[in-house]
C-alpha cells in the first residue's frame, strides 16, 4: 500500500476488528468508542477485557482461519494487540480484509534477529549481538562479545522469559538448554543507566507523531512503573524521540511502534526491542497527554490526522499486578484526586498478571513519586525512583 495515495479515511460508524481481547484491546475499544467506531474482537476467551466492551466478540483460537475470515468479513479495518500473530492468519487478513499495519512489521518484530537487522538497516544503534543456532555459534559468539552476555530465544520470549545470562566462558560451556532447530540471539550485556521507551505513531498518510519518552523501572522482569517525562537531559530526550521517528520511518510503520531503549552512562542510546502496538509504558498517555496512544493508533490506521502527543501534566504510571490487587482495593477509597485507577476487568487474579494500572499526576516528578510512596501500594521499591532522580 502506498502511503496516503487514494486512501479515504475510515470514518466513525465503521467497524474495527481487533485480534486479541486483552487489556490493550480493551483500551483501544474504550478510546475508539468515544470516537464513534464499532468494535469486534477475536479471542479464545469468552469473557476477556476486550469482549466486555466490544460490540461483538468471536470466541476462537488465534490460529483459527475460519474465525479470522469471520473477523475479516465483520470489519472495515483490522488491527492486533500482540505481535505473535500466526502467519497463516496474517495472510488471510491481508487478502480478505484491510490490515493497514501489514504483515511485514509483524514478521520483523516477532523475531529478535530480524528486528536487530532491520534496526541496523535503518541506521539505528543496537547492542553488539550474534545470531546463534548451535553450541559452536554460542561459544564463538560469547568469545567475540565478552562477558557478561545474554542469550535470548529469537521468538516467543517475553518479560525476561527465555533468557540466560552468562558471566564466564565456563558458564556458556556448561549451558545445555539450546534446543535443536531453535533460533537465538546472543547480546553483549549493556551496563545501562536507565531503560526508556518512546512510542511513535505513523499514519497511513505518512504523518508521524512522537509521545514523550518514559523511564521504565521493572520488578521481577515485569514493568513496574513508568515516569514521564524520563528525568534525563533535554538533549537525550530529543535524541530518543529522533530515534523513534527514525524507526517509524525506516521500518515503514503504519500505526504505533513502541521503541524500548537503553540509556548508557555516556548519554548514548541503544534500541533493545520494538512492539508494533500500544505499549504498557504508554498507558500514562490516557491521563497525561492531549491524545492517548490508543486514540492515536485509531487515528493513524483510519487515516485521520494524528492528534497532539503533548504532555499536559507530569505522570507516574504504576502497574497493578495480581499480588497488588488486595492492597490497592483496600486503599483506593482514600486515594487523592490526582490518582487515576484503571482496572482491566479480568476475573482471575494471579501473581505477575497485569490486572490494572494507576496514573499519578503531579506538578513535579518528585511530587508524583512521593504520592506513589504514600499510597503504599507495594513494597518500597518505588522509592528507588525518588532517590535516583536526585
Residue 272 near ligand AMP by CB under 6 A: yes
Which H helix or E strand runs over 79? strand 77-80
- Cβ nearer to ligand AMP, comparing 192 with 343: 192
Among 131, 178, 190, 311, the residue binding ligand AMP under the rule CB under 6 A is 190
How large is the angle between the packed helices 293-302 and 23-34, nearest 10 degrees? 70
Binding span for ligand AMP by CB under 6 A among 43-51, 184-192, 326-334, 376-384: 184-192
CB 11 within 8 A of CB 301: no
The response to whether 238 counts as a known ligand-binding position is no
Beta bridge partners, 60, equal none
The response to whether 195 counts as a known ligand-binding position is yes
Residue 81 near ligand AMP by CB under 6 A: no
Decide: helix, strand or coil at residue 298.
helix
The Cα 239–Cα 241 span in angstroms is: 5
Smallest gap from Cβ 66 to ligand AMP, in A, equals 33
Pairs from 132-136 (Cβ < 8 Å, separation ≥ 24): 132/178, 132/183, 132/184, 132/185, 132/186, 133/182, 133/183, 133/184, 134/178, 135/178
The response to whether 102 counts as a known ligand-binding position is no
- Cβ nearer to ligand AMP, comparing 190 with 341: 190
291 vs 101, 109, 389, CA distance in Å? 20, 25, 27
The Cα 296–Cα 309 span in angstroms is: 8
Residue 222 near ligand AMP by CB under 6 A: no
Among 353, 354, 372, CA closest to 362: 372
The response to whether 187 counts as a known ligand-binding position is yes
Where do the H-state alpha helices sit in 122-233?
135-145, 169-173
Residue 65 near ligand AMP by CB under 6 A: no
The response to whether 344 counts as a known ligand-binding position is no
Cell of 207: 504523518
Q: How many residues bind ligand AMP (CB under 6 A)?
A: 10
Where do the H-state alpha helices sit in 112-200?
112-121, 135-145, 169-173
Among 10, 28, 54, 150, the residue binding ligand AMP under the rule CB under 6 A is 150
- Cβ nearer to ligand AMP, comparing 101 with 216: 216
Among 43, 83, 115, 273, the residue binding ligand AMP under the rule CB under 6 A is 273
The response to whether 163 counts as a known ligand-binding position is yes
The Cα 346–Cα 122 span in angstroms is: 39
CB 148 within 8 A of CB 129: no
Among 31, 81, 187, 287, the residue binding ligand AMP under the rule CB under 6 A is 187
Residue 147 near ligand AMP by CB under 6 A: no
The response to whether 120 counts as a known ligand-binding position is no
Binding span for ligand AMP by CB under 6 A among 103-111, 186-194, 274-282, 362-370: 186-194
Residue 274 near ligand AMP by CB under 6 A: no
Among 119, 127, 274, 314, the residue binding ligand AMP under the rule CB under 6 A is 127
The response to whether 218 counts as a known ligand-binding position is yes
Binding span for ligand AMP by CB under 6 A among 44-52, 91-99, 185-193, 354-362: 185-193
- Cβ nearer to ligand AMP, comparing 94 with 137: 137
Smallest gap from Cβ 312 to ligand AMP, in A, equals 28
Residue 287 near ligand AMP by CB under 6 A: no
The response to whether 215 counts as a known ligand-binding position is no
DSSP letter for 52, please: T
CB 142 within 8 A of CB 172: yes
Smallest gap from Cβ 130 to ligand AMP, in A, equals 12
CB 142 within 8 A of CB 149: yes
The response to whether 161 counts as a known ligand-binding position is yes
Residue ranges in contact with ligand AMP by CB under 6 A? 127, 150, 160, 187, 189-190, 195, 218, 272-273
Q: List the binding residues for ATP.
A: 112, 152, 157-163, 187-190, 195, 218, 272-273
Amino acid at each position: 500500500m502506498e502511503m496516503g495515495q487514494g486512501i479515504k479515511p475510515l470514518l466513525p460508524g465503521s467497524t474495527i476488528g481487533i485480534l486479541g481481547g486483552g487489556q490493550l484491546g480493551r483500551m483501544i475499544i474504550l478510546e475508539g468508542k468515544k470516537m464513534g467506531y464499532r468494535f469486534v474482537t477475536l479471542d479464545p476467551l469468552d469473557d476477556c477485557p476486550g469482549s466486555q466492551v466490544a460490540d461483538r466478540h468471536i470466541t476462537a483460537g488465534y490460529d483459527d482461519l475460519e474465525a479470522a475470515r469471520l473477523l475479516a468479513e465483520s470489519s472495515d479495518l483490522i488491527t492486533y494487540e500482540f505481535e505473535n500473530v500466526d502467519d497463516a492468519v496474517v495472510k488471510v487478513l491481508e487478502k480478505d480484509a484491510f490490515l493497514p499495519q501489514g504483515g511485514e512489521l509483524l514478521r520483523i518484530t516477532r523475531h529478535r534477529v530480524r528486528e536487530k537487522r532491520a534496526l541496523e538497516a535503518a541506521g539505528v544503534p543496537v547492542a553488539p549481538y550474534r545470531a546463534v543456532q548451535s553450541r559452536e555459534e554460542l561459544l564463538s559468539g560469547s568469545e567475540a562479545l565478552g562477558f557478561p552476555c545474554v542469550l535470548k530465544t529469537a521468538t516467543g520470549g517475553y518479560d525476561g522469559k527465555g533468557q540466560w545470562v552468562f558471566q564466564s566462558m565456563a558458564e556458556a560451556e556448561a549451558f545445555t538448554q539450546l534446543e535443536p532447530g531453535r533460533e537465538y540471539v546472543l547480546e553483549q550485556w549493556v551496563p545501562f543507566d536507565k531503560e526508556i521507551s518512546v512510542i511513535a505513531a505513523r499514519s497511513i498518510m505518512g504523518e508521524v507523531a512522537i509521545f514523550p519518552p518514559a523511564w521504565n523501572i521493572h520488578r521481577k522482569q515485569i514493568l513496574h512503573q513508568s515516569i514521564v517525562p524520563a528525568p534525563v537531559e533535554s538533549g537525550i530526550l530529543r535524541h530518543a524521540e529522533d530515534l523513534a521517528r527514525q524507526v517509524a520511518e525506516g521500518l515503514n510503520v503504519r500505526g504505533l511502534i513502541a521503541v524500548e531503549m537503553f540509556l548508557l552512562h555516556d548519554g548514548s542510546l541503544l534500541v533493545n526491542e520494538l512492539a508494533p502496538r500500544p505499549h504498557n509504558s504508554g498507558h500514562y498517555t490516557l491521563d497525561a497527554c492531549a491524545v492517548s496512544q490508543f486514540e492515536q493508533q485509531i487515528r493513524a490506521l483510519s487515516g485521520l490526522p494524528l492528534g497532539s502527543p503533548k504532555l499536559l501534566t507530569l505522570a507516574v504510571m504504576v502497574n497493578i499486578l495480581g499480588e497488588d490487587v488486595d492492597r490497592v482495593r483496600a486503599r483506593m477509597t482514600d486515594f487523592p484526586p490526582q490518582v487515576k485507577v484503571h482496572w482491566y476487568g479480568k476475573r482471575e487474579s494471579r501473581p505477575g498478571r497485569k490486572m490494572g494500572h494507576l496514573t499519578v499526576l503531579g506538578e513535579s516528578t518528585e511530587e508524583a513519586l512521593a504520592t506513589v510512596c504514600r499510597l503504599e501500594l507495594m513494597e518500597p521499591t518505588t522509592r528507588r525512583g525518588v532517590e535516583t532522580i536526585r
